[in-house]
A = this chain, B = another copy of it.
């Protein structure tokens, strides 16, 4: 059996395109509908109620495209709203927290994990809960890094100030002797080099996108809804703000050309 229906993916903006990139590698035949809420980005500074309201609207939009699975590619929405979404909608859903937690729990050798993310993600405690559910003995240390997103968007990834800012946020995690650091926001991979240099070579960085794609494959396989076509999947991109900006920013994250994006009305 082969299920042609697309996978729906949403994020507060363009960061979730890193998940699209991994799906493309792992599940090349799948069709994808991506929605980036660029008119209301960011989510990471906003309340649970507001992020959940936005997330419900995003899922409703994706449902119109008859999706067979929804990936919540935004760490903040996954942290604050995934449980609610699962109760509201009948479509299978996967967030980025559990896959990231699973990968980190598997990677740590000394049982000390760090997690960085937006203020909302960090104060939700979602990563701690997910890691502890896997292994109670692992210690989790967290830090919110509000300047990382604008820093990445400004493209200041090689400037001295990037290292200074990273030092302020990350040094408290470094002294905890973590050996694994979860990049708990889809923008942070753009700052990978800076973060790596500040943390040192012994700390492995976990970017949940790859793990999300793997779990998506398992879910589709288990439910018999994989797309078994030999042709490469079709991709549809939507944004709530100007599509031209979405494309321009998005190509940095997808690392491919985006030929077309449309505005969600």
Task: From B38, B47, B149, B164, give the contact of A164 (CB < 8 A).
Answer: B164
A160 at the interface (CB under 8 A from B): yes
A83 CB–B CB distance under 8 Å: no
Sample of 24 A–B contacts (CB below 8 Å) = A38-B46, A39-B40, A39-B46, A39-B54, A46-B242, A47-B241, A47-B242, A50-B240, A50-B241, A50-B242, A146-B150, A146-B153, A146-B154, A147-B147, A147-B150, A147-B151, A147-B154, A150-B150, A160-B164, A161-B161, A161-B164, A161-B165, A161-B168, A164-B164
Number of interface residues of A (CB under 8 A): 27
Question: Which chain B residues border A150 with CB–CB below 8 Å?
Answer: 146-147, 149-150
Number of copies: 2
> CA–CA, A150 to B145, complex, Å?
10
For the complex, give the distance between the alpha carbons of A56 and B149 in Å. 28
B-contact bits for A38-71, CB 8 A (1 contact / 0 none): 1111000111011000100000000000000000
B-chain residues with CB within 8 Å of residue A168 when the two chains form the complex:
159, 161
Q: Which of A46, A149, A164 has the most CB of B within 10 A?
A: A46
Q: Is A86 an interface residue (CB 8 A)?
A: no
Is A192's beta carbon under 8 Å from chain B?
Answer: no
A136 at the interface (CB under 8 A from B): no
